[in-house]
Structure 1
Amino acid sequence: MKPSRPSFLWHDYETFGADPRRDRPAQFAAIRTDDNLAPIGDPVVLYCQPSPDMLPQPDACLITGITPQMARERGLPEPAFAAHIHQLMSEPDTCSVGYNNFRFDDEVSRFLFWRNFLDPYAREYSNGNSRFDLIDLMRMSCALRPQGLNWPLRDDGKPSFRLEDLAAANGLDVSRAHDALADVEATIGLARLLLKHQPRLWQWALSLRQKHVVSALLGKGEVLLHSSARLSASHCATAPILPVAPHPQFNGQWLVWNLNVDPDQFAGLDHEQLSDRLWTPSADLPEGTERLPVKLIRANRCPMISPFKVLDTEARQRLAIDPDLITRRAARLRSDSAFIGRLTDLFETSGGQAPDPELALYDGFIPRGDQQTMARIRQLDAAALIRIGEPFSDRRLNELLFRYRARHFPDSLDADDQARWQTLRRRRLLEDPELASIRWPEYRARVAELRRSHPDHGELWRALDDWAIELGLTNPNAG
């Protein structure tokens, strides 16, 4: 039954690997609640049948306990799996929410929908819909309003924001961690604690789902507080920031400076030096070289930001923030338009295209006419799919259609199509690191390594051996 008022769809995926674009979903779970976080209806648990060109990451199977055979036996074909999830998320006035979903689960959804001719974005904003991610709100609560929750520490003494750690520290059941439904229940449990103990912070965070609220805060050019995984965990992943400029190419994105870092040490650097400090991985920077403390904030991604004035005495001490120093650094940045210009130039880019159509979602918007054709594709049987040929003006979609037929309607392929499909399968399973997160040589070696280190999981390793054999790969035990 469609909810009569705004609702949250709390959800989680378990996947066959850590790459949301190249790896495939294994399990999905969701619970719908009202705005008081009371359940609406029954939980949803779905499995997704794996395709015959997919090797799972053995470590992912070890963590979740889900094998390809289990997903095949319990699951739906990927088009039906995707359609069911899309329908849940598309109900009017639904806020789709999870734990670290902006960086992972939402990417899984978008690329799942893309492969199966469903609109990847509309469920995020149309018909009163929105999306939200609890993890950065947990960071902000730890930093600014920690009362009412317990905050576990990692071995290095920094706060841990892993779902299972926070859930365990706050008395929630973690006995089934890495089961999608259990993770959803733990996420709702944390959200209920926040709503109970920090209701004003909760409502503030929800207001940031509105792009105009975020844009208004960033557009003032005032010092703000920001919580993000990109910031140091030692201070609850929260820092004072200054919006220094809008993105030179993309509306709704802002460059911000982490004011915990003195800008003077970077002001004399030229474009190439600044570029190295920004884009070079931290591990590859020379020892003692500090990374450029600039990041992007996207107004449509519900960033956890707040006015600087909410910082009370306890929070200042907890975050080691000196307001006078922060004010001076902000003034220093505002006064150096040339430096800000050099920072902005770093983000002037033509952008590269993805090497494969399945990964090319972000290479351009779908033409309107093709959107209508996508809706037709989902209704066609094998015979009709043969007749339709290449109906799209967007070449990405014509290649996606061929793969859709090959995976889900193999009887629609003629001899030439079969040869083309087998060539693609070989590239994904054996050759091309751009197409899959793991290939047969790495898979075989990793299964052997895990078999030695986890001998008590013999049934799992046999299942992964059998899956490789089903795909036509050499018996992993044959050397």
Structure 2
Amino acid sequence: ASRLDMLSTLQLVANFFPEALNLPFKDEGEVSMKLTDWSDANSIEIENAHDALADCVQMLELAKLIQKTAMPVWQASIKGATKNGNLEILQSEPFAMIGEVVRRKKFTYPVTFCGQNPKMNNEVAVADLYFDPDLLDDLTDSELLEQIGNSGTAIRKVRINKSMPVMSADSIPDIEKYLDIPHEQLVERARKIKENIKLQTRVSELLGANQINYPPPKYLEQTVYQGFPSDADDLWMERFHSLPWEERAKVLDGFEDSRYKELAERLVCAHNPESVSREIFEKYQNFINQRLYDKGPWPSLEKTLDKTRSMLIEATGEKKDILEKLEKSLSSKSEFS
């Protein structure tokens, strides 16, 4: 799968190809990253700004301009739309350049690959070449770990499973204009990092050892990231949704994954409760009561009722009618709490 984020592409243009497009400058040379501002600056006429279709048209027209006037940025963006592509860019010769726009201010960093989390391959470490790599070898593990962060440290963590504003330094014309120290010095520093297998191994091990171990999920909804459905469950879902509600209870036991079976039970109980067994319906009632009256990572009945009453104070017309009906319904439920 691939993904291209136009925001990352525009950040590369703003930092390394500022003359390729008209940049939407704000006060004191700050660069806006609003899509509409980029369109206005480059005479892209649209209707219904912020509409989803209008956003697509703006991105398409901007993409055409970038292909025409800043092809290296477009090529880097296409490559960076995949995990392997991002990894190739970060490992490119002689080094890579990250170009960000944060709070309308431009920032550039020369970097090179220096490790990968063995437990989560999407997390990669890159060395900021403005830091002297010779100093890293003398650090203890705890000191080296302190130098691994998201920004402002000698080693930076990035995610290769999403677009990022990065491209090979060789693809940037007049690269020296964007560097704080000589190009030759950065090439030498990048070479040292790439040849230092021991450092890369240490960084990779520290990334894995420092992995956050989250507690097991307590509620069904929190398990959605524990894995995708099997091919068999995918097919069974199609069968489940193709049946009328009164027939769906008959196929509940066909799910391999207990998560999908329980979600299917809830759906049937909500739409056709008379078709399920007494045991399943009691389980569903317990679930509803828990969500209404127990404390958890969801809005409680009490807080929802308080919020509804506060909104009623200034409500008028149809909105007031809806809130009054909601307040009445919630109040009737709260009487049983």
Give yes or no for TM over 0.5.
Answer: yes
Unaligned runs of 5+ in 2: 333-337
Change (3 A) 1:242 1:318: closer
Report how many aligned residue pairs link the two structures. 327
Partner of 1:394: 257
Shift of 1:204: 4.4
Per-residue CA shift, 1:215-260, capped at 9, x if unaligned? 544556751123467x896335x43221112331345663222334
Shift of 1:160: 2.8
Per-residue CA shift, 1:271-292, capped at 9, x if unaligned? 445546657x98xxxxxxx546
Q: How does 1:277-356 map to 2 (within 5 A)?
A: 278=148, 290-291=152-153, 293-298=155-160, 301=162, 303-313=164-174, 316-318=176-178, 320=180, 322-334=182-194, 336-348=196-208, 349=211, 351-352=213-214, 353-356=216-219
2-side partners of 1:274 and 1:297: how far apart? Answer: 20
Secondary structure of the structure 1 residue equivalent to 2:113: strand
2-side partners of 1:473 and 1:379: how far apart? Answer: 37
Pair 1:241-2:111 in alignment: yes
Could you tell me whether the CA contact under 8 Å between 1:263 and 1:333 is conserved in 2?
A: yes
Change (3 A) 1:243 1:276: closer
Per-residue CA shift, 1:345-385, capped at 9, x if unaligned? 23214843444433433323433432332332232322222
Secondary structure of the structure 1 residue equivalent to 2:33: coil
Shift of 1:416: 1.2
Shift of 1:450: 9.6
Partner of 1:198: 70
Could you tell me whether the CA contact under 8 Å between 2:113 and 2:125 is conserved in 1?
A: yes
Q: How does 1:397-412 map to 2 (within 5 A)?
A: 397-405=260-268
Partner of 2:327: 469
Partner of 2:6: 134
Match among 118, 129, 134 for residue 259 of structure 1: 129
Match among 379, 390, 399 for residue 242 of structure 2: 379
Per-residue CA shift, 1:147-171, capped at 9, x if unaligned? 3423234668543323344334444
Could you tell me whether the CA contact under 8 Å between 1:221 and 1:244 is conserved in 2?
A: no
Pair 1:159-2:20 in alignment: no
Secondary structure of the structure 2 residue equivalent to 1:235: strand
Change (3 A) 1:221 1:320: closer
Shift of 1:329: 3.3
1-side partners of 2:200 and 2:67: how far apart? Answer: 39
Shift of 1:267: 5.3
Could you tell me whether the CA contact under 8 Å between 1:357 and 1:397 is conserved in 2?
A: no
Secondary structure of the structure 1 residue equivalent to 2:236: helix
1-side partners of 2:228 and 2:83: how far apart? Answer: 20
2-side partners of 1:267 and 1:342: how far apart? Answer: 10
Could you tell me whether the CA contact under 8 Å between 1:172 and 1:186 is conserved in 2?
A: yes
- How high is the TM-score relative to the length of structure 1? 0.54
1-side partners of 2:135 and 2:285: how far apart? Answer: 58
Pair 1:416-2:277 in alignment: no
- How high is the TM-score relative to the length of structure 2? 0.72
Shift of 1:136: 0.8
